Amino acid sequence: MGHGKLKKFAENETFRCLLQPDANSVLAKPEGSKELVLRDHAIKGNWNRDMFAKAQPIVLELGCGKGDYTIALARRHPEMNFIGVDIKGARLWKGAKEATEDSLGNVAFLRTRIEFIDAFFGSGEVSEIWLTFSDPQLRGSENARLTSPLFLQRYIRFLRPGGIVHLKTDSRFLYEYTQSVIRANGLQVLASGTDIYSDGLLTGCALPEEDEWDIEAVFEVQTFYEQMFLKMGLPITYLAFRLDRAGLEAGAPFAYPTDFDAAYWREAEGPRRSFSHQPARGQA
């Protein structure tokens, strides 16, 4: 490990806005069992009390990388609290350092595997989720995609009723997959676009005023990868949808799509993705 990373890891320990729980705080082995099970972390349900300057609606960015999107959203919306989640400590260092140096009281970061995410948030604690340029898992497991039914099942445990999930990605494969998941579960699409900087967005129904949905942020806030793709002339897609159980029977899990042509969209994606996503960004 390089000296630069070691220095960042050491500095990470000094940032109050960065929570870095060890595995033992969220994993336990019940007596008589050989399997580890997920258990609640002490921060669950207590983010506004323990991590932020004041209690406000919470927005998550999952797989936040260096935290540039989280920071930008927080600067735009001081009336909301923002949490960036990733597994890479060297990446989180940048966002945590900026938040600390600029005294951004509405920013926090969580270093953990996204598979563990519902160990950290209580029922209704989160208002919105942003998925920005997540690994589409072109040839990996469907359950590793951050919009899979497995992940939606995790999100709904802590997302407020009717909370919004935003997906911004250069991957048409992931965009079309997510559309299939939405259809399979009768979820409400609020806005969508397959080339937002050229064609704009198609909006569904009007959003209630209390949602305070910042549609301009979709265009005006950009990640490092997004800026790279735009310079290459690649289209950026976007989806916003409500996550609820209105279309499901009581207690039923989210359904897997049956109309998604993975082979077609994998081929359409082409080889260009090999450089753009490190394996398991925020997931491994």
Tokens of 123: 């029922």
Q: How far apart are CA 45 and CA 54, in angstroms?
A: 14
Give residue 57's identity as a one-letter amino acid code. P
Give the integer Cα–Cα distance in Å for 165 and 128: 6
- Which residues have C-beta within 8 Å of that of residue 151, sequence separation ≥ 6? 114, 143, 145
Bridge partner list, 166: 130, 240
40 is catalytic: no
Residues near 139 by beta carbon (within 8 Å), at least 6 away in sequence: 266
Q: How far apart are CA 62 and CA 65, in angstroms?
A: 9
Residue 163, H or E segment: strand 159-169
Q: Which of 22, 135, 244, 259 is catalytic?
A: 135
Q: How far apart are CA 99 and CA 102, in angstroms?
A: 5
DSSP state of 8: H
Which position has the token pair 């938040």? 99
Q: Catalytic site residues?
A: 135
